[in-house]
Chains A and B, each alone.
Chain A
Amino acid sequence: KQEVTQIPAALSVPEGENLVLNCSFTDSAIYNLQWFRQDPGKGLTSLLLIQSSQREQTSGRLNASLDKSSGRSTLYIAASQPGDSATYLCADRSGGNKLVFGAGTILRVKS
């Protein structure tokens, strides 16, 4: 059974810093991977979806990579802003639409 771990559980950084959030998988035979953002009291917003044929995806200041050989994914946020404060979740999409989620990283960007 796939298990997804996100490290760190919480992170606090000053505004402007570049940061990396980590996601690892017990079953490295991962197919697709999706990163989400969750604001307090809200649902999940899809950020990036990395398909099996890709190694990374970029959207604005966000870059997500997937290393299948090590069973790891990273989400890189450049020049962080207070508006980036949220919980970030990664999910294994190898089961198609049946996602397996990590517990998330709570990010706080201080102004």
Chain B
Amino acid sequence: NAGVTQTPKFQVLKTGQSMTLQCAQDMNHEYMSWYRQDPGMGLRLIHYSVGAGITDQGEVPNGYNVSRSTTEDFPLRLLSAAPSQTSVYFCASSLRRQTSNQPQHFGDGTRLSIL
């Protein structure tokens, strides 16, 4: 049981480049989300999805795009990388879409540096 899998684990980009962070889960979870974690701060929600074909913005969505074409995959796209997007990115999933009584499962993160 792989759980939540994120790739790549590390990435270095130059300002202005674009890239896609991959996230996949094999637990048939409805809900998936992306967070970023910066030093001295809690994780902040970027985008989330309550099911295939449905996405919405979180607290800090600017500069990022998402899509959810399948239940399993939820990629995060950086359109034009900026140094302020240097961070650790976590993907999370939960079984049901609108519930707060089930634990969320997190991937191991992608460490992204923008030069």
Contact = CB atoms under 8 A, between A and B. Distances in A.
Interface of A: 4, 31-32, 34, 36, 41-46, 49, 51, 89, 91, 93-104
A104 B94 CA distance: 22
Interface in B54-78: 58
Contact of B101 (A4, A42, A45, A49): A49
A43 B90 contact: yes
A97 B98 contact: yes
A96 B109 contact: no
- Main secondary structure, interface of A, reads loop
Q: Is the interface of B mostly helix, strand, loop or mixed?
A: loop
B104 A99 contact: yes
Given A41-B108, A44-B106, A104-B42, 8 more contacts: A32-B101, A42-B109, A43-B4, A51-B100, A91-B42, A97-B33, A97-B104, A99-B35
A110 to B, nearest CB: 24
